Amino acid sequence: MKKTIYLLLTCCTIASGTLAQVKSRLIAQSLYNYDGISFVVSDSTKYNYTSSFLGGDLSSRYLAFDNSTTFTFDKASSGFNNFKKSVQRFDTKNHRTVLLTAFWNKAISAWEDAQTFYYYTTADDSLNSKVEQAYNKGTAAWDNLVQESYTYDAANNRTSYTLEFWNVPAGKWLGYDRYFYTYDASNNLTKKTNQSWNITTSSWDNIFIDSFTYTPANKVLVYTNIVWDKTTSTWKNNKQTVNSYDASDYRTDEIQSGWNSTSGSWYNVQKTSFVNDSKGNMIQQTLQNWNDVSTSWDNFRRQYLTYDGKNNVVNNYWQAWNSGAGMYENTDQRSFTFDAANNTLSNVSSLWNATTSSWDSSIRLSFEYNSFNQLTRQNYESWDLAGSWIHKTGDQLFNYYYENYTNSIHENQIEKGSLTIFPVPAAEQINIALKWENPQAFSARISDINGKLYKQWNVAAISNYNEQVSISNLSSGTYFIEFSGNNGDRLRQSFTVL
């Protein structure tokens, strides 16, 4: 097995370029599944690069490789079989323009084209449109499938998103779903309008509008959702969330309401109360549901969080309200450890054992990194009630392999400064510690792994930037924060929201 993996790695091209800076990029990854006796390799992927401008890792928006091949392991022959091949193309500014995917046909021992994605970007790497095509074996031609289009304002805030499907009989794109976005002077999203295409009337039908108002500190104060009533052709209130903040601009309460069309008023649904430490880290949140009978709030769930000296979450546990006993009872817990660079070393999930009044660990994720703080291994383990971590059937192991290379500096890849984001993972807000080598004005943007923009703002010329940014409107998952300086410098980092 080790010999096979070695062969996959040695066939990867090592790029070289003009002397600039040494970086590291992903060249292969493999997945193992535990079968009850040992870990058995499931699949492996290798990545090839031909340019010193290309690269990336698991935290990149997309891995900028020229081509990749995925192999699946065949137990019968104890070898790897071809499975999928991907080829990417880039423009002169290293923006991805094409992604072609093909699958291996065992019957004819050849690759067969499957899907192609075309990407069209603006000068600053914002996505203008994306077109998906599928290969038609019958006609030996590419058929249009899906098209996504985007527009932006002068501050690079996304102002519209349109999803269309290809209408074969008409030979043109047919609308399906679209969104419009508006922003205030601070680039906060103030309005999001959704519409869907009506095939019968060949027009766009209103669906809903999300509206946001903000505090002077640019934190969401009120969120309101209204929906379109087709019967009366009018907008109707649907739901609302109102936030409260203390003198330090830390959120203290969030009240969710629904609309009663009969009484023409808002009714309480759920209330969340927050307790923060002096650094603004959320250390407790309490969820309560509204009781119409008693006209009061009923306890529901409660969460506690603790942090280390670098504001990383080290413990996060939940309690549920037991109305019969009149008290909160522990339910589940997650604990984290970190290295000196704030990389997560372990993530342990536990369940509360009411019989023993203790936490029963269930799953542990362990992580290892290279000198560039890139993930090299992710290991799943299960807790043995005898008192140790063991592997059980179904546990997985991921290995990631990298190469060091000399990166030829490109105007869109220059990194002159340092960036730290904490806590890791985050819950209510992230703290930003940025330092440029030279003072400059810059823009900041937060997007998800698909490139969807959630927040953007501009900062006047400065060398050191320390700011606390609310992420209370983000769902759980991985996001990217990117800073683009007027001097052409760029810093980017991923972060996780609980």
pLDDT of residue 101: 97
Query: What pLDDT was estimated at residue 3?
Result: 30
Does the residue 10 lie in any domain? no
* Confidence at residue 84, expressed as pLDDT on a 0 to 100 scale: 96
Q: Judge whether 478 lies within some domain.
A: yes
Tell me what pLDDT residue 463 has: 85
**pLDDT of amino acid 113:** 96
| Four-CA torsion 417, 423, 425, 426, nearest 10 degrees | -110
pLDDT at 415: 57
The alpha carbons of the chain give a radius of gyration, in whole angstroms, of 26
Residue 437 lies in a domain: yes
Give me the pLDDT at residue 6, please: 28
Provide block-wise average pLDDT over 10 residues at a time, the chain (498 residues): 30 36 91 92 93 86 92 86 95 89 94 96 84 96 97 90 95 96 92 96 97 93 97 97 94 97 97 94 96 97 95 95 96 95 94 93 93 95 88 94 78 63 81 86 83 83 86 82 83 82
Q: Are 94 and 410 in contact (CB under 8 A)?
A: yes
Give a yes or no: residue 492 inside a domain: yes
Residue 431 lies in a domain: yes
**Per the structure, how many domains does the chain have?**
1
- Angstrom CA distances, 125 to 96, 97, 261, 334, 389, stand at 9, 11, 45, 37, 45
Q: Please list, in sequence order, all residues whose beta carbon lies within 8 angstroms of the beta carbon of residue 294, skipping any fewer than 6 positions away.
A: none
Position 446 in a domain: yes
d(CA 409, CA 260): 59
Report the pLDDT value the prediction gives residue 228, as an integer from 0 to 100: 98
Residue 155 to residue 35: CA distance in whole angstroms: 53
Question: What's the rounded Cα separation, in Å, for the pair 377 and 367?
Answer: 6
CATH number, domain containing residue 482:
2.60.40.2550
Is residue 494 in a domain? yes
| Buried/exposed code over 331-357 (b: 16+ C-beta within 10 A; e: otherwise) | eebbbbebeeebbbeebbebebeeeee
* Predicted model pTM: 0.81
State how far the Cα of 271 lies from the Cα of 286, in Å rounded to an integer.
8
Count other Cβ atoms within 10 Å, centred on residue 107: 7
Q: Which domain, by its residues, includes 496?
A: 415-498
Query: Is 425 inside a domain boundary?
Result: yes
